[in-house]
Every structure is written in structure tokens, then in C-alpha cells.
Chain A
Amino acid sequence: MTNAEMPRVGAREKVTGAARYGADHTPPGVAYAMPVVATVGKGRITRLDTTAAEAVSGVLLVLSHLDDLGIVPAGYIMAGGYAFQSLQPLLDDRVAYRGQPIALVVADTLVAAAEAAGLVRAVYEEEPFAVELDAAGTETVLQEEALPLPFLADVVVGDADGAYERSPLRVDAVYEAGPQHQVPMELIGGVAEWRGDTLVVHEGSQSVGALRGGLARQLGLDPDRVEVIAPYVGGGFGQKNSLQPHLAPLAVAARRLGRPVKLVLPRADTFHAASFRPVSRHRVRLGADRSGRLLAAIHEVDQQASRHDLLPASYTEITSRLYDIRNFRGRQRHVRTDVQTPGYMRAPFEHPAAFALESAVDELAHAAGRDPVELRLANDAVKDPVTGKPFSSRHLAACLRRGAELFGWAGRSPDPCSMRAADGTPVGWGVAAGAYPAMTVPVLARVRAGADGGVLVEAGGHEMGQGMTSALVSAVAQDLGIGAGSVRAVVGDTRVAPHHLTAGAWGTHSTLLAVHAALRELRERLGVPPEGPVDVAAAVAATGEREVVTEAVTRGPGQPPEAVDRMRAGLVAPDGPDYPDHVAFSFVAHFVEVRVEPAAPRVRVSRVVSVADCGRVASPVTADAQVRGAVVWGIGAALSEHSEVDPRFGGFLNADLADYVIPVNADVGAIEVDFIGEPDLTLNPMGVKTLGEVALVGVAPAIANAVFHATGRRPRRLPIRIEDLL
């Protein structure tokens, strides 16, 4: 079986239902928890009446701030902590946002817990609140000043304002996107269980290490007394990238009751219980010469924040580098509102940033009268305009050229409203590019070669459907020249290795890097050549041992050893994309055809071609799926997904899968995926860059640009709905 033919690891288990996700774990004697959430936008709880709830038959416990839970906050993930936000509910009477948990009911059955949760009554002293960017009562802060860290400073290159003023061609427009929610299929939830003094947690998570470290801090435990197990994650997309505030109270309840406690949040609660993509507003100014050669860009962003935390923004990281722009000025601000802390959702900054920049570039191409692919090629960069360093690899031009060819771009008629389908439906073709940083994190990997010829990989990493285990199995099988059936990979389990957060698309190549190193050492221990097929059974037998085990810890090229300590503690420690000798990004180009239904006018995406430069493709099956999935995400982000906010009430109103509109199969046209496939051996010895995030970057602006081409109307706010084109 070749690498390309290897099926996805775990596919059979998932299809047949054998795969066990976090909350599927149902130990004997398990009790069920259900949260009660605040129904005001902000304020204080003046009275909490739990008598009726406690009277429900089967109710065991009601936890709230009236009780001393004996826990401390776990700290914000981006400020030396572990949690998605600094605020830990249930510790005081404060309500910071609508939907914040105010009590946790535990009962013998789920039905009793749910009934009792509905009977908890709270009386509030309400306070004014603000949930929209323009609302009275928000507070705007400059990122540079509020988060004075070098890598969060505004990107400034040359004299953007002067060069812009002097440019003969100028574009000045404001774009807006979000808020949105990740809505993975797997709900947020888990099971907390004490085995003696050890807390065992089963919960779908992209960061079992953060759960371990965070729970240890919250409960005052030695981290060795916390085990977190998440062999499968049913989609994370950033929502499960840190400790959620339900878990410590769940552990407290389990300890008090002396039995395991399970909590699965109702879908509506997940809209307030974890992070989301904040609304962001972008003013983009582009200056160019008459041919469309970019002379200056100014990108100013306002991003929604909570009152209690600031999500460090890096929108300008890619907008300053997608093209060879010698004069660039970025400015990122935070607008504090009364919500839970927003966070990372697939291509968190890059998707909205690309929507803004790549729409503006399309506006520029139109103004310059140049083909948008040609204009992009003419502005390609050979070295990083921000640092002056080389790119580890950059094949954006190849992505654009190959995509144009596969799509048939040469047949495009340039003028808006000039293309029609056979039945007269207006057709539009649009293009956009994307980039995403290739970061690297510290990973520990262990390889166990058995006398039976089997190889077991135990590594820091998470399988959330993106294909981490497939990539590991495939890499080991290829390296040793053995069948994929002889290789097994265990990830998402603090019992086998410390774990860094898997996000930012750094997971696969960072873990592969450690596995690669462990394999080199294995070969040495087995006394086999550094390359070529290995008869594992024979080689292990020759050592006289039943099993040969090697371990490696790797980190990013510029990282100090302390980064490994942070990883071991479950804290974040990404390296890059600005490495000592180069900068590293993945690139992508998307080509989109839309049809705008004449009567409605509803945008239909009939065809997409996406070509990615992600270095060597680590696992063809799952890589292809990643890009397809990202295109579907982009269709949702561009045309339908929007978390609705009623400023009079706060919170998010369309908090279910009927009203939060993700695309269905029938909304997705033909998708063609291709890869440049050039290994990036400057970045790492496997030549692998990142893919999972870059694949989404640029889909939305390609759709928006196609809408402009079809209708002559320029969408500047996502999602683009019927009312915007009517």
C-alpha cells in the first residue's frame, strides 16, 4: 500500500460508531451535571434560589458561588494560564455576560439534572452593557499599548502614509466580518472521575496538557495527579484549545459525591461557554502605480474583546507579507465589550484579514483595469518585506498559475456582469490568495519497536479529525518500509507524553519532527542504516530485548530550552513564523465560480479550485480532506454563518444548528484540490509546512470577488446574504 492509498486511521471506527469520544465514557455510577446560565447582559446575582431544584428527585448537589468550591482561576491561555478566559464562573456573584454559568446541578440522571437546572431562580442587579463595536460603553485600546510585547507591536515598514498619499491609484474601504462560532459536531463536555487521589478526565480537547496543568492549578494538585484522555476529538476548530470553565467545578462535584460526573453542554450553551470568532472591522488603504504595482498599504483593525481579556491580534502578520509592499503600516485595536473572551477559530485572524486585503486588491485590479491574477503575480514578493529575511519557501505564484490553469481562468471576461450561464443566470469568477504562518511547537515523541515487528508511537498531539494519527502512521510506515497495519499511534493522552496545544496548524509537522528524531535514534539503537527499509522484528530480536524504546524532544529552530518546560507544563510555546534565518508561511490560491440566482438573488458556489503550497504533503488523503473542508468552511463564512447579537439583551441569539447557518452538501459545488508539493527542507527535515488553516484563508474573498464580478456590487461585510444583493 502506498502512502497515497492509505485510508484514514480510525475511519472504520468512526463510521461504525466504535470510536469513543470524551463524553461517551460512561463509568459505573456516573452522575450527570447541567449548568444554569445567567439571563442578563451584565450585573450581580442578588439572590440565587436553589430550593426547588434541590427538591427534584435524584438531585445530588447544586454548586454555585454561595458555596466555597475551593478552586482558583486557571488564568488566561494568552497570559500565562490555561483557560480560554481569565474569568472562572461560580466563584463570585458577578455576571460578566449573558450566558455565563451561575450554577451547576448534579443529579442521578440527565433528566433530573436538566429539570432541576430549569428550576434554579436568580435575581440580578442589572448593569448597562455593550455587545457591539459601535455601542456606547465600549472601551477601545491600542494593542501596542495594552499588550507591550515586541511580536504584538504594529507592523510598520517604510512610510506607508506618505507613499499612499503620493500613489496615483488608491483604494480606501472598510470591511467587516464576524462574529462566528466554531460549532464542531462534538459538543463541549467530559467526564471527571477520581481514582484515589488522581483525577481522571475524559474530554474532547485540542490541549490535554492545558487541561492537566490548569486543573492542577485550580484544584491545588500535583500535575502528576491529573490524567486527561482524549483519543478522538469530534472537531475543535479552536473552540477546544484550552481549559473550559466547567471542568474544575465538575471535578469538585465528583470529589464531593465520590462518583464520576459527566457534563455535556447543550448546543445553545456552547455559544457562550467557550470562545468564538470576534467581530473585526478593517480599514484597508492601498496605493499603487497605474499598472497596479503596490506602493503602500495601511491596514487598521478593530477587534472585539471581552472586558477581562485581550486576544492578541495578528491580522497584519499576513497582510504585510502577502505581496511585496515596501511601505506598510498596521494598527490593531481592541474594543472591549461584555461577552466571554473571544478566541481562536480556524484561521482566526488570517481569514478576516484576507477578506479585507484580498477584496481591496480586487478593487485595485478593477480600478487599474488589470486581470486580478496578473496583478497578484506582478506584486509577488521574493523576500519578506517586513524583516528582509528569505522565505523558507514561497510558491504563491505557482499556486496562482496552476489554479488559473485548472480553473480555465483564461476564459474569463473581465467586466462585471459580463458572464452568464446557458440559462441566463449571472456568473462570476473570483480569485484570492492566502497565507498562514508555519509555526513549530515543542513535542515529545516515543517510538516503541516490538519483537513482533509492530511499532507503537506515543506522542504529544491531538487527533481532531484533521488526520494527525494518519500522518504519524504513514510517516513511520514509510520511514521504516513497513506496512501501515504494523504501526499504531497514541496521541491526546497525558499518560503517555506531555502535550502542547494542537492548533494553528502546527500540529502535524511539529509532531512529525519529534517522531522523525525518535526514529533516527531507533535506527541507531537497532543498529540499522539511517535510511531504507527495516525488518523490525529481526532487528529487535537481534538486540535481545522484547522492545526497543526511543524518545525525542524537538522544538522550533529559534526556541530556547525553556519552551520545552512550558510545553511540559501545558502552556503555549509556539515558535515562528519569524525564525532566526528565515520566515515561514504556507500559501494558497482559491478560484471560485458563483452563480447568482436571478429571482432571489442568492449566491450559489458552483465551482472552486484550490491550490496550496504546504511543503511536502504529509498525508494525501487527509490533506485533500482538509482543503475540501476548509472550502466548505469558507462558503459558510462568506455566505451564511453569523452569530446574531441583540444589543438589548447581549449574548448570541441564534444558538442552535437550525439557526446558525452552516452550509449543507447541496450548497457546495465541485471542489478541485491540488498541491504544489515542493518540500520545504529549510523549515524541517520532513519538508512539511502547515495546511489546516491556510486552506481557509482567501476562500471568502474569492467568493466575494466572484460576487462582484457577477453583479457589479462589492460586498464589504460577511456574510453576503440575499438582502445585500436585492
Chain B
Amino acid sequence: MRPFAYAVPATLDEALRALSEAGPGAKLLAGGTTLYDLMKLDVETPPAVVDIRALPELAGVDTAGASELSFGAGAPMADVAADPVLRRDYPALAESLAKAASQQLRNVATVGGNLLQRTRCPYFRGGLAFPCNKRRPGSGCAAIGGLDRGHALLGGSDACIATYPGDWAVALIAFDAILDVAGPRGSRTLPLAGLHVEPGDRPDREHTLAWDEIVTRIRVPVTAAGRGSTYHKVRDRESYAFALASAAVAVTLGAGGTVEECRVAVGGVATRPWRCHEAERELVGAVLDRGSARRAGETAFAEARPGRQNAFRIELGVRTVAEALRIAGERAER
């Protein structure tokens, strides 16, 4: 870790100013569970850190709204995971947080910071001795042809196959979440689907936020499909582990169990939160049963590109989608 300047602004305006003054390279600090971790590994070396955790504009959760749910970017993961309305009406959202990290981490980590966590690729984290295009553009990718058990099957490139590790963003993308973003040039909204980018030939670029912007809120349009939803996560151990494969699924069912509305996203298997529109289209109008659920999973992974060790996660991913559809179908009101 290197010494850095540290500021604790009292308002959003002050924070934006502090960020602009510190210049590119400065970093926002929320819970610090990603940022400090990466600073200790020398992956992040910000000269200045602006602490936004306690900003009033980033606080608060509102799950009672008529048209949308609203989450302050600074809300702790643990609080949102425990929100009773969310647990009842949008179990996929609550579960994606409850099944992430550990209780201790969730107590300090924020739902805003969570979106911008970085890959767990061990070569990326392991130090400059490993070729890694994300860490040192142009140096190569050690994961390709290496230990890629946890690497992405979807959305990778010849330059990088790093998995986007988060759970919450996968559930959010299934629900068409929107971000409120504040910046020195004013405020804007950004669909979550437009936040993360695939590595392409620039794996060091992971998202579309400018360095001087702050996510203030995450909003989710109200939908009846929330009730019939789940975040199903398969991992090597029952807690404190990233997904080998996960699926955020929401359905509403009509007469005879036909799918009316449907959302499918997969996590732990792609370079960004991955919405599976094609699988959704296939399901709508079909009777939700084992066969259709499995086919939806197969469609979700139709484009999967396996490496050396991770091919098993295609079949695992297919089964995870199918299992999530089964659980969501049971929860959906008919």
C-alpha cells in the first residue's frame, strides 16, 4: 500500500468537488472492501481517496414506492438484504445480496460499491509477475491456457476472460435497474445494462462511469415478476464464496403454467452481468416445466466458449438456470 490523501466531504457537492480537485486517479471509497483490498495488493494505487460512505445523498432504501424501488448507493448490503418488503416481493434481489461475501463484509460493503467490484482472477490479483492485460495492458493473459476454472465462458476476448464476480448486479440487470449518476457536468441516468463493458481489446476498461462521477442511487421499476423470482447461486462452499454459476430468474405464470413475463440473467460465468434475452423470448408463452427450463439454460449458454478447466461450468450453468426457473415457478402466483 502507498500513502494517499484522504478526504471526507460532508455533502455530495463537496464530494464531487473534492474528486475533481484530486484529479484522475483519485478513487471513491465506500465500504472499502474492494478498494482497500486492491490497494494492499498494489492493483489500485490512488494518490487520493474520497470517502463517500456517510454522504446523506447516498443513504436510504425505499421499497414501498408505487412505481420503483430505490436504493441509496451508500446503503450497506446487509441492510438491503434484510429489507422485509424486498425479501417478500423481490426475493431474487434480496438473495443476491444475502448470498454474497460474508456477514462481516456485508455489514460494511455498500450496494453502490458492490457494482464496481473487480474480478477475482488470481493472476490479476497475484502481482505484476503475471502477464495480465487488465493490470498491464499489452502484457498478455495468463489465465488463457492456465488455471481458468473460475473464468468466464461468456463475453470473453482473446485479451481477457476475467469473470465479473458480483451477484447483486446480476439480479439487478434482470430487473432492468437504472442508476442515478452525479458528476461535475450535472446528473444523468444510466441503465445498469450500460454500466459494465466486455473486455474486448481493452480489458483495463471495465465500465462506462467517468472518473469524476458518483453513483447516487439504484432504481428498479416495480414488477409483479418480483414475487416469482430467485437468485440461485452454486459455489464451492455455502458462504463466503463467489459463484461458480448463478442465475437470477423472475417469472409470472398464466393459466396452465404458461410463462407470461420472464427475466433470466446469469452470473459468475461472464465478463459482465449477463442478461439472456434469447432464453426469455423462448420461454414466454411456453409451459414452464423441466424441459423448457433446461432448454432456456441451454440457450443462455449457447455461445459459451470454454477454456482448459471451466467447461464443466457450461453444464452447471445450464442446470443452474433450470433450477432457478423451477424455484421461481414455485414462487410465482398463478
Contact = CB atoms under 8 A, between A and B. Distances in A.
Interface stretch (A309-317, A322-330, A648-656): A648-656
Contacts of A663: 237
A115 B2 contact: yes
Contact of B129 (A39, A602, A655): A39
A661 B235 CA distance: 10
Contacts of B42: 118
Given A653-B122, A658-B120, A726 B316 contact: yes
Main secondary structure of the interface of B (DSSP, over half): loop
Residue of B142, B240, B241, B315 ringed by the most chain A CB atoms within 10 A: B240
B104 to A, nearest CB: 12
Given A40-B129, A115-B1, A648 B241 contact: no
Interface in B173-216: none
Nearest to B320: A599
Contacts of A665: 239
Contacts of A600: 234, 316, 319-320
A688 B147 CA distance: 46
Given A661-B236, A722-B234, A649 B244 contact: no
B255 to A, nearest CB: 27
Nearest to A111: B1
A111 B315 CA distance: 46
Given A114-B1, A599-B323, A39 B240 contact: no
B146 A646 contact: yes
Interface string A590-609: 00000000011010000000
A661 B3 contact: no
Contact of A649 (B3, B142, B237): B142
B23 interface: no
A168 to B, nearest CB: 39
Contact of A646 (B2, B128, B147, B316): B147
Contact of A666 (B142, B236, B238): B238
Interface residues of A, number: 30
B21 to A, nearest CB: 24
Contacts, number: 76
A267 B6 CA distance: 27
Contacts of B239: 664-666
Contacts of A653: 122-123, 126, 147
B316 A644 contact: no
A40 B130 CA distance: 10
Contacts of A648: 142, 145-146
A224 interface: no
Given A111-B1, A600-B234, A661 B146 contact: no
B237 A667 contact: yes
A293 to B, nearest CB: 40
A640 interface: yes
Interface in B213-251: 234, 236-242, 244
Contact of B319 (A599, A649, A721): A599
A723 interface: yes
B296 to A, nearest CB: 14
A599 B129 contact: no
A659 interface: yes
A607 B226 CA distance: 36
A595 B281 CA distance: 35
A723 B312 contact: yes
Contact of B312 (A599, A602, A640, A726): A726
Interface string A457-477: 000000000000000000000
A648 B144 CA distance: 12
B147 A722 contact: no
A713 to B, nearest CB: 14
Contacts of B315: 726
Nearest to A600: B234
A661 B241 contact: yes
A653 B142 CA distance: 12
A648 B122 CA distance: 14
A264 B241 CA distance: 26
B172 interface: no
Contacts of B142: 646, 648-649
B78 interface: no
A235 B178 CA distance: 48
A648 B128 CA distance: 15
Contacts of B320: 599-600
A663 B236 CA distance: 9
B252 to A, nearest CB: 23
Interface string B276-314: 000000000000000000000000000000000100100
Contacts of A40: 129
B240 A640 contact: no
B127 interface: yes
30 contacts: A39-B127, A114-B1, A115-B1, A115-B3, A599-B320, A599-B323, A600-B316, A600-B319, A600-B320, A602-B234, A640-B236, A644-B147, A648-B146, A649-B142, A653-B122, A653-B147, A654-B122, A658-B120, A659-B120, A659-B122, A661-B236, A662-B237, A664-B237, A664-B238, A666-B237, A666-B238, A667-B237, A721-B236, A722-B312, A726-B315
Interface of A: 39-40, 111, 114-115, 118, 599-600, 602, 640, 644, 646, 648-649, 653-655, 658-659, 661-667, 721-723, 726
Given A114-B1, A599-B320, A649-B146, 19 more contacts: A39-B128, A115-B1, A118-B2, A600-B320, A644-B122, A646-B142, A649-B130, A649-B142, A653-B147, A658-B241, A661-B237, A662-B237, A663-B237, A664-B238, A664-B239, A664-B240, A667-B238, A722-B316, A726-B312
